Chains A and B, each alone.
Chain A
Amino acid sequence: MRVMQAVRCLALLAFAVLAPLAARADQASIDAHNRNCELAAEASKLDRIVVATAQSKLFPDPKFQDRIDYFMYRIRPPAVWDPANPAWAPARTTLIAIARPETLRQLQDYWKQLHPLLIREMESSFQPGEAVAFNEFASSTGGNAYFERRLAELRAKNGEMFYDLEPEAAATLAKRAQEAKKKYDGLPAAEKKRVETFLAGEQCAKCYRPPAVAMEHFITGQSDWLAGVFGSQFESTDSKVVDAWVDVINGKLKATIPGDTKKQILGVLEMRKDSSLAFTLKFYWNNKADGGSLTLQFPKDHPSYKEVAALAPNIAPGARRVLYRDENGIIDDQP
């Protein structure tokens, strides 16, 4: 009995001594992994590559285009203009140009959180072996030149884009891309070979996946997520800032965009070739200001035909008039 008690005491003692040592050893390996990830991020500029990739996904995304259109309909409602209006495209270009500085400011603000967040994401996305191999590659001359070229070419392709971390003129970006390409092309053959081998998915002994696969997986996942964040940030732009954009566009393009009104814009009344009337209204649906439209038909024998036609005096077949309502409920075709 006493022997058993002694064995138990010894076991407890051994656990008490060894457990902190084991924990310390484990913490040391976590710290080493985190340090590897940090060094790899520094050397590869992976965080900036994620931002640039996210930027490149913004404009091709139809949802982001809808967000820009949402602000376009803040300038004038869907009833009076849409992409078919000749003033739409120049106004949209102006809107994108004047909205860009706000997106840069939003990213500058967000970067303080985003940068450590991306590093943390790297720590959890890369296996320790993958991080070591990735860091080795990124710190090499070839790896360094490869990432420099990749980032510079991405940024040059994006041009003067929304959510730019280090905004530069398109010409400067193009020049940097050329320089980075030149530097990469001038690499010694051994370094070029190193890059090619890495990108081809060279496996390493302690890696779960080829480090290049882990890297691309990380860039794709993070840039998809970040593009979504940029979209939400853009959509939530302060209304006072948006009002200022609208004022600028009203001032710059007053002569070309449809006139402003204090009345409620109801919709468009059209007289068709057979003299029947069609009243079309647009409504907000699926997060779009022009998400849907409904058309009310008034054939010539409709009991309300005459009073609908009277809302747009002298309307002729083929003509379209916007209908407005004032605060006393009077409807006419005058803005």
Chain B
Amino acid sequence: MRTPLFIAALILAAALPAHAAQETGIPFMWSDQTGARDMPWLGKGGRAHWYLMDKSKPWDFMNPRGAEIEKRWGSSGRSGTSPYDDAERAMEFLAGLGFLKPWPIYPSETAEGRMVAFPYRVTIVAIQPTVAIVRFDLAGTIEDPIPFGRGAYPPSQYQTYPDQGLGWGKTPNRIMFGTHVVNRGSLLWFCPEANIGPTPLDVSSGRAEIALKDFRLGVERKGDELEVTWRGR
């Protein structure tokens, strides 16, 4: 009886230092690490949560990449999806519609291919299904230098903005997520799962609505930013 407990303790001891250096996750269990993140809405209502699982094996302690952390967002870790995969799918959907085509391409090669000088900022405001708001921003064509990175995010995210983005190698800047968007530049929205391509979102009156089959999202101007709220059908 003592031997399996001892082995389990050894495995746990080996795994703990691995995740301690990065975002904390519990070995082989999903843990809610949402913290102060402004999370997108879930299609069925409520906010998504940010989950982590430390999948490092005891023999990974020498892994130069550090702990193997899996990230998901959704209502639970088990039912959640990878935020990075969702962001990539959304952007590939836009690319498939030819939305990235008019813009020039940088010569440098990233893991995902060549980067497009894309004059928009994309914010995922809801998941399951993915709903994203696309905001025209000429500065989106250039990788944000550190002192200017904050300015791409809404003021309510100034403190948390490093945690509000998902890297995608084909645009100079990250795909954002949350329920707030900067109130500058013309807006479009799209939903890959519903096969809805970029659709104008007119907030000139101070409010607008994104209507989908099972729910609606209200977009309302609040000072220097736009707030997105979930509304049932």
Point out residues on A near B: beta carbons under 8 Å.
264, 266-267, 279, 281, 283, 285, 292, 294-297, 303-304, 307-308, 311, 323, 325-331
Interface size class of B (residues with CB under 8 A): 20 to 34
In the assembly, what is the distance between CA of A323 and CA of B119, in Å? 14
Q: Measured between C-beta atoms, what is the minimum distance from A167 to chain B in Å?
A: 39
Are the CB atoms of A303 and B186 closer together than 8 Å?
yes
Option from A281, A304, A323, A327 in Cβ contact (under 8 Å) with B151: A327
B84 CB to closest chain A CB (Å) equals 24
What sequence of 0s and 1s flags, for each residue 106-130 of chain B, a beta carbon within 8 Å of any chain A beta carbon?
A: 1110000000010100000000000
Name B118's closest neighbour in chain A (CB-CB). A296
Cross-chain contact A307 with B107 (CB below 8 angstroms): no
B56 at the interface (CB under 8 A from A): no
Q: Distance in Å from the Cβ of B146 to the closest Cβ of chain A? A: 11
**Which chain B residue shows the least CB distance to A264?**
B148
Give the distance to chain A from B165, nearest Cβ to Cβ, in Å: 14
Report chain A residues within 8 Å CB of B182. 329
> In the complex, are the beta carbons of B184 and A330 less than 8 A apart?
yes
A-facing residues in B27-63 (Cβ within 8 Å): none
How many Å from the CB of A151 to the closest CB on chain B? 45
B215 within 8 A of partner (CB): no
* Residue from B102, B147, B184 within 8 A of A327 (CB atoms): B147
User: How many angstroms between the C-alpha atoms of A296 and B145 in the bound complex?
Assistant: 20
Chain B residues engaging chain A, CB cutoff 8 angstroms: 102-108, 117, 119, 136-139, 141-142, 145, 147-148, 150-152, 182, 184-186, 200
A304, A325, A329: which has the most chain B beta carbons within 10 Å?
A: A329
Q: Are B107 and A285 in contact (CB under 8 A)?
A: yes
A266 and B117 form a contact (CB under 8 A)? no
Q: Closest residue of chain B to A325, judged by CB?
A: B139
CB-nearest residue of chain B to A282: B142
Cβ A311 vs Cβ B138 within 8 A: yes
Q: Across the interface, do B104 and A329 meet the contact criterion of CB distance under 8 Å?
A: no
What chain B residues lie within 8 Å of A281 (beta carbons)? 117, 141-142
B150 to chain A, nearest CB (A): 7
Report the bound CA distance from A135 to B203 in whole Å: 87
Known contacts A285-B108, A296-B103, A296-B104: A307-B185 contact under CB 8 Å: yes
Q: Which 9 A-B pairs have the closest CB atoms?
A: A329-B151, A294-B104, A264-B148, A328-B151, A294-B117, A325-B139, A304-B136, A327-B151, A329-B152
Query: Separation in Å of the A312 CB from the closest CB of chain B?
Result: 11
A325 B151 Cβ-Cβ under 8 A: yes
Contact A331:B139 (CB < 8 A) given known A264-B145, A307-B186: yes
User: Measured between alpha carbons, how far is A239 from B150 in the docked complex, in Å?
Assistant: 26
In contact, B141 and A264 (Cβ under 8 angstroms): no
Alpha-carbon distance between A334 and B206 when the two chains are bound, in angstroms: 28
Residues of A within 8 A of B136 (CB): 304, 307
Cα distance, A328 to B137, chains bound together (Å): 13
Least CB distance from A232 to B in Å reads: 23
CA distance A304 to B148 in the complex (A): 23
C-alpha gap A283/B172 in the complex (Å): 12
- Residue contact A327 to B186, C-beta cutoff 8 Å: no
Chain B residues positioned under 8 Å from A330 (CB to CB): 151, 184
Give the residue name and chain of the B residue nearest to A329 (CB).
B151
> In the bound complex, what is the Cα–Cα distance between A137 and B102 (angstroms)?
70
Q: Give the chain B neighbours of A264 by CB distance below 8 A.
A: 139, 142, 145, 147-148
Specify which chain B residues have a CB less than 8 angstroms from the CB of A325 in the assembled complex: 139, 148, 151
Question: A304-B119, A304-B136, A327-B150 are known contacts. Are A296 and B141 too (CB-CB below 8 A)?
Answer: yes
Closest to B153 in A: A329
Nearest chain B residue, comparing its CB with the CB of A324: B139
A329 touches B184 (CB 8 A): yes
**12 A/B residue pairs, CB under 8 Å, sorted by A:** A264-B145, A264-B147, A266-B139, A296-B103, A296-B141, A303-B200, A311-B138, A325-B151, A327-B150, A327-B151, A328-B151, A329-B139
A292 to B139 CA separation, bound complex (whole angstroms):
17
The answer to whether A323 and B138 touch across the interface, beta carbons within 8 angstroms, is yes
A213 to chain B, nearest CB (A): 44
